[in-house]
């Protein structure tokens, strides 16, 4: 009698009805939270983004010739460069530029890769053949060489760097998405949807794409760090973001001068450290996403 009252009590039934189902997304989030390095990476990235957003653009561009090449002091916590600009302000504003380039370029390239990979993997045939041959051609050239050639032809700027990185790095997510679509389209639930006469767009968007995004998201997390490094390399060579607009890459360009590298380490060390920290933190987050979306790898 007591058991019946407890099991059939309205309070217990109400509690059971309010219990949220343990969905795959919740399971992945729990696995991600248990990844300590991934959580450390998120904290570092959030701090870098907030600091970059708080950077003073006017101070980063303001020239003060009497204060040029000064070491760190109370007035300039990280010192000044060769024309008296504040290194701290330029590092923060440069982070805003570099992170924007990385995020926009990866979003652009991943979007192209998802669309073309989905078309190639779902329809196959001649469309798959054409897309994959274009992918093979683009992948046959080193990305950095293509970036240097294109940048020298169209000219360096922030938007050109974003577009170049996006247009030259889409083949990898395209191949990943194609492989996922080729595998998932053979599943029983996709074949059942086809037999019921469901449209191709609905099947691809509702049944295949959500199950195929996991490896692409893992790639995108690592690709952000790669894009930031590519931008830094181009800016270091003078073909990326152009002065006086700061970026971590063109700030590192001062290290090409041996005297500056040896006697004014405060001018290039802050952007170098922030670049390393960001790339390391993004890799930690990517490892966490990979383990969270692949339970077997976490085991």
Domain residue extents for the chain: 24-57+78-298
User: pLDDT confidence of 88, banded at 50, 70, 90?
Assistant: very high
Read off the pLDDT of residues 139-181 as tens digits, 9 standing for 90 and up.
888 888 888 888 888 888 888 888 889 988 999 999 999 999 9
pLDDT of residue 296: 54
Is the pLDDT assigned to residue 272 strictly greater than 50? yes
pTM (two decimals): 0.80
Higher-confidence residue: 93 or 194?
93
Mean pLDDT, residues 262-285 taken together: 90
Is the pLDDT assigned to residue 130 strictly greater than 90? yes
Read off the pLDDT of residues 55-77 as tens digits, 9 standing for 90 and up.
888 888 888 888 888 999 988 89
For the chain, the three-class secondary structure string (H helix, E strand, C coil) is CHHHHHHCCHHHHHHHHHCCCCCHHHHHHHHHHCCHHHHHHHHHHHHHHHHHHCCCHHHHHCCCHHHCCCCCCCCCCCCECCCCCEHHHHHHHHHHHHHHHHHHHHHHHHHHHHHHHHHHHHHCHHHHHHHHHHHHHHHCCCHHHHHHHHHHHHCCCHHHHHHHHHHHCCHHHHHHHHHHHHHHCCCHHHHHHHHCCCCHHHHHHHHHHHHHHHHHHHHHHHHHHHHHHHHHHHHHCCCCCCCCCCCHHHHHHHHHCHHHHHHCHHHCHHHHHHHHHHHHHHHHHHHHHHHHHCHHHHC
pLDDT of residue 115: 93
Is the pLDDT assigned to residue 22 strictly greater than 80? no
pLDDT of residue 177: 93
pLDDT of residue 14: 47
Is the pLDDT assigned to residue 205 strictly greater than 70? yes
Mean pLDDT across the chain: 84
pLDDT of residue 293: 78
pLDDT of residue 7: 47
Mean pLDDT, residues 231-246 taken together: 84
**What CATH architecture does domain 24-57+78-298 belong to?**
Orthogonal Bundle (1.10)
């Amino acid at each position: 009698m007591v058991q019946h009252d407890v099991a059939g009590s309205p309070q217990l039934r109400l509690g059971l009805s309010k219990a949220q189902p343990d969905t795959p997304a919740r399971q992945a989030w729990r696995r991600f939270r248990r990844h300590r390095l991934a959580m450390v990476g998120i904290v570092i990235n959030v701090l870098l983004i907030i600091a970059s957003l708080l950077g003073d653009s006017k101070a980063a561009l303001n020239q003060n010739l009497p204060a040029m090449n000064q070491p760190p002091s109370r007035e300039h916590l990280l010192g000044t460069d060769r024309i008296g600009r504040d290194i701290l302000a330029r590092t923060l504003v440069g982070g805003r530029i570099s992170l924007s380039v990385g995020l926009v370029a990866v979003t652009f390239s991943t979007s192209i890769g998802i669309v073309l990979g989905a078309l190639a993997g779902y329809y196959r045939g001649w469309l798959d053949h054409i897309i994959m041959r274009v992918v093979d051609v683009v992948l046959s050239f080193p990305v950095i060489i293509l970036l240097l050639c294109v940048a020298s032809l169209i000219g360096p700027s922030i938007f050109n760097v974003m577009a170049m990185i996006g247009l030259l790095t889409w083949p990898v997510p395209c191949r990943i998405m194609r492989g996922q679509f080729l595998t998932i389209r053979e599943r029983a639930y996709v074949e059942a949807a086809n037999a019921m006469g469901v449209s191709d767009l609905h099947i691809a968007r509702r049944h295949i794409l959500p199950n195929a995004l996991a490896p692409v998201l893992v790639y995108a997390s690592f690709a952000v760090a790669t894009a930031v490094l590519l931008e830094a390399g181009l800016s270091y060579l003078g073909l990326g973001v152009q002065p006086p607009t700061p970026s971590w890459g063109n700030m590192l360009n001062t290290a090409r001068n041996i005297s500056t590298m040896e006697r004014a380490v405060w001018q290039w060390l802050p952007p170098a450290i922030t670049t390393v920290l960001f790339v390391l933190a993004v890799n930690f987050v990517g490892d966490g996403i990979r383990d969270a979306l692949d339970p077997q790898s976490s085991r």
